[in-house]
Structure 1
Amino acid sequence: MPKKNIHPEWFNETKVYYDGQLIMIVGSTKPNLYVDIWSGNHPFYTGSQRIIDTEGRVERFFKKYKIENKASSEL
């Protein structure tokens, strides 16, 4: 049995807010949560993520360490 009076209070209906708007209800040890980033505005999940052009970095690595690039030859 768990010890008494050592566990934090659990809130089954914690409201999660983003930019002043309620976005979801979850269980937590806090009655309200305020987030700056969530899946609804994160570039990875919204599809607006920009891919940085890193062309040549892998090839330079392989060349520097004299490694045969088997992955690119299989494509």
Structure 2
Amino acid sequence: MRNGIHPEYRTVVFQDTSTGATFRTRSTVQTSRTIELDGETLPVVPVEISASSHPFWTGNQRVLDTAGRVEKFNQRYGARNRTRS
């Protein structure tokens, strides 16, 4: 490997902004924020969603109201019967 061309590979913490859960891993991501974790100061990267907050992994999936969306579309644009030529 050539010296000076590779990014720094280090321990970082990914923090879920919605749940506050933290995940320690190794990465090359750059950040200026730090966090004190287990007596160690580590760089922290905020993420919006992770396994601790993702609906698929938590089992809190939302049911979309597709029928309501179709009705709203028809009200807005009108359900017109069109004949094809």
Q: Could you say which TM-score interval applies, normalised by the shorter chain?
A: 0.5 to 0.7
Match of 2:47 among 28, 31, 35: 35
Amino acid corresponding to residue 47 of structure 2 in structure 1 = V
Aligned residues: 52
Q: Report the Cα offset of residue 17 of structure 1.
A: 1.2
TM-score of the two chains, using structure 2 as the length reference: 0.50
| Identity score, percent | 35
Structure 2: which 5+ runs fail to align?
30-42, 67-85
Instruction: Give the Cα–Cα distance (whole angstroms) in 2 for the partners of residues 42 and 48 of structure 1.
Output: 8
Instruction: Give the Cα–Cα distance (whole angstroms) in 1 for the partners of residues 4 and 61 of structure 2.
Output: 46
Structure 1 runs of 4+ aligned residues shifted over 2 Å read 19-22, 50-54
TM-score of the two chains, using structure 1 as the length reference: 0.55
Q: CA RMSD in A?
A: 2.3
Structure 1: which 5+ runs fail to align?
55-75
Alignment check: 8 A CA contact 1:15 1:22 kept: no
> CA deviation digits over 1:20-40, x for unaligned, max 9?
835110001133211000011
**Bigger RCO (CA 8 Å, 6+ sep):** 2
